[in-house]
Chains A and B, each alone.
Chain A
Amino acid sequence: MKAVITGLRRVVALVGLPIVLLLVWWFASADSHTAAMPPLKRILKVFPDTWFGERLTDDVLPSLIRLTEGYCAALVIGIVAGVAIGSSRTVRAFVEPVLEFLRAIPPPALVPILFLIAGIGDTTKILVIIAGCVWPILLNTVEGVRGVDPVLVDTCLTYRVSGLLRLRTFVLRSASPQIMTGARQALSVGIILMVISELKASTDGLGYTFEQFQTRFQYPQMWSGVLVLGLIGVVLSLLFRFVESRVLAWHRGQRAAERTSL
């Protein structure tokens, strides 16, 4: 019985606010005559025709593929560079000013420059996503690697745990909660940049579709795209939570153990 109630409460917590917001939106927009802000009813009506057809494979899929490619590349670059920088105080002192400089450049500002260098194809769009996603991952990895337990550093030395074994079982593992935090931030940055990179000089993708709806004055369709983006965000964050719970299972166990031992 108790389990049922807890389960129910979790469901309410998950969908409660979205339902309230949708209801508010529904009634507030019901008699809107402004073309740019159509009633939610019309938005939902055009939703299936707009998205459950060719657009799913021709626009949504290319966007998600580019996001995946850019995000994965950013993960690799961020973690590799982060471990290198985090492990050495000298390297850190050397690169930190440059990192701060590069980090401050908003990736959307790079779009016109990248068009000239990398062309108007997928490369530019993926580079834009990497340019934004890499920072949270890199900086969190640096912090995570820098903050490893000094006692465990000594333990590794004593037991002659070194090289790849040390990297895999000690450095990456103890930095992993921080790395995951960075990866989560990078995911939302990636979704934003996925859309921005497609707004101009594009021939497919969600951003391209948005631009097309706007220039063609198809406002209900444009708003339905906003819903699609939100849904993509929710699905990706659920997916991320699943991966995180696997990767950080040891961490959660450890924290729980620490809590009970207090």
Chain B
Amino acid sequence: MRMRRLAALFAGATLVISAAACGGEKTPTTPTTPGGPDTVNVGVIPIVDVAPIFLGESKGFFTEENIDLNLDTAAGGAAILPGVDGGTFQFGFSNAPSVLIAQTNGLDIKAIASGNGTAGDPDNDFSGLVVKDPSITRPAQLAGKKVAANTQGGIVELAIRELVAKDGGDPNSLEIVAIGFPDMVAALDNDQVDAIFAVEPTLSAAKAKGWSVLGSFATIDPKMTVALYVTSGKLAQENPDLVARFTRAIKKSLEYAQSHPDEVREIVGTYTNVPAEVRANMTLPGWPTEIDSGSLDTLADLIVKYGVTDTRPDVSAILS
């Protein structure tokens, strides 16, 4: 009796573990009816930055390429990239440093298009390092203080450290605290941190408090590629046609978003709960169609400089 129970337990455990091990090895594309559109799952973050793909979907740019979009929202690039690598998502959106770090740590990720860039103006970007204390007027004064970033090791943390370093402060003396964008204004208001690095629409809420902005992504590089659309190396090799069609559709969407800001402000309301008056006034990111590889090199340097990875990410491996 006891033996049998043990054997059952063993069999059960094996089943669970092997099922878990197989979980990630889904077929890269959903089987589709001949001649019908390809259904693709795309992992996106419900933020302003991904407005072009929502806009492109509603304008029919993906249908034109025979692609049926299934947009899945996830909390962040850290959740999307393993999904792209494992095949849950055929495509995904993630901030650029996360893509570089993921590739360095063995995830099979390739960039296919730019996600979004800065607004181009260092003094009026969609991102910003914000302080409440009026006596702090330069990033260097933040040395040794607590600053909120949405995640550890992402583009926001890199930007905070680099802004302080560029201004002559010690970037390693900063204490970076992970606080989600929606909670940042309250955290700074209650003096739990000395500064926050926010993006729109949180940035608008912070500016509305009368707080000052000390720098942004655009201060580091006005042409910075902030985020990327990615796919897996496996899919790029097995179904180059699908990847090419998706890339065409997303580039068309980016172009359209860049030249139709009013429609962008409108569509953001369909997948976020940003109020209309905030949407009307917030600073939008830039949506260039091409990846600025020079800025990816800059980010790769920052990743090593601030110890996120030991080896420098290979930018060309992402772009090939």
Residues of chain A at the chain B interface (Cβ within 8 Å) = 17, 20-21, 24-25, 28-29, 32-37, 112, 115-116, 119-120, 200-203, 208, 211-212, 214-219
Question: In the complex, which of the residues A24, A202, A216 contacts B105, with contact meaning CB atoms closer than 8 Å?
Answer: A216
A217 touching B178, Cβ below 8 Å: no
* B3 at interface by CB-CB < 8 Å: no
User: CB < 8 Å: which of B17, B193, B308 contacts A216?
Assistant: B308
Asked if B82 and A35 sit within 8 Å, CB to CB, the answer is yes
**Contact status B105-A35, CB under 8 Å:** yes
Determine whether the beta carbon of B14 is less than 8 Å from that of A215.
no
Residues of B within 8 A of A203 (CB): 175-177
A sample of 22 inter-chain contacts (CB < 8 A) reads: A20-B13, A24-B10, A28-B17, A28-B21, A34-B25, A35-B86, A35-B102, A36-B85, A36-B86, A112-B183, A116-B190, A119-B190, A119-B192, A201-B177, A202-B178, A211-B152, A212-B153, A215-B76, A215-B151, A217-B78, A217-B102, A219-B105
The dominant DSSP class at the B interface is: mixed
Q: Pick the contact of B14: A17, A24, A212, A217 (CB < 8 A).
A: A24
A217 and B18 form a contact (CB under 8 A): no
Q: Inside 8 A of A219's CB, which chain B residues have their CB? A: 82, 105
Tell me if B43 counts as interface (CB < 8 A to partner A).
Answer: no
Does B179 contact A212, Cβ atoms closer than 8 Å? no
Top 3 nearest A-B pairs by Cβ distance?
A34-B24, A217-B105, A36-B82
Query: By the criterion CB–CB under 8 Å, are A21 and B106 in contact?
Result: no
* Complex: chain A residue closest to B183, CB-CB: A112
A218 and B193 alpha carbons, distance in the complex (Å): 28
Chain A nearest CB from B132 CB (Å) reads 15
B153 touching A215 by the CB < 8 A rule?
yes
Q: Given that A36-B86, A115-B192 are known contacts, is A214 also in contact with B78, CB under 8 Å in the complex?
A: yes
* Given A21-B13, A216-B153, A211 and B105 contact (CB-CB distance below 8 Å): no
Task: Decide if A24 touches B13 in the complex (CB within 8 Å).
Answer: yes
Contact B309 A216 (CB under 8 A): yes
With both beta carbons as reference points, the residue of chain B lying nearest to A212 in the complex is identified as B152
A36 to chain B, nearest CB (A): 4
Check A201–B101 contact: CB distance below 8 A. no
Quote the shortest CB–CB distance from B82 to chain A (angstroms).
4
Closest to B81 in A: A217
B319 at the interface (CB under 8 A from A): no
Q: Which residues of A contact B60 (CB under 8 A)?
A: none
Chain B residue numbers with a CB within 8 Å of A200 are 178-180
Q: CA A214 – CA B178 in complex, angstroms?
A: 13
Binary flags per residue of B166-178, CB closer than 8 Å to A gives 1, else 0: 0000000001111
Decide: A34 near B85, CB < 8 A? Known: A116-B190, A120-B177, A201-B178. Answer: yes
Within 8 A of A (CB), among B18-63: 18, 20-21, 23-25
B154 interface residue, CB < 8 Å from A? yes
Any chain A CB within 8 A of the CB of B71? Answer: no
Q: Is B304 an interface residue (CB 8 A)?
A: no
Contact across chains for B13 and A215 when beta carbons are under 8 A apart: no
Complexed CA–CA distance, A211 and B153 (Å): 10
B151 contact set on A, CB distance < 8 A? 211, 215
Cβ of B17: which chain A residues have Cβ within 8 Å of it?
Answer: 24-25, 28-29
Bound-complex Cα distance A61 to B21 (A): 32
Partner of A215, one of B85, B107, B154: B154
User: Interface code B224-250, partner A: CB below 8 Å = 1, 0 otherwise?
Assistant: 000000000000000000000000000
Q: Verify if B108 is at the interface (C-beta below 8 Å from A).
A: yes
Which residues from chain A contact B309 at a C-beta distance below 8 Å? 216
- B114 interface hit (Cβ, 8 Å): no
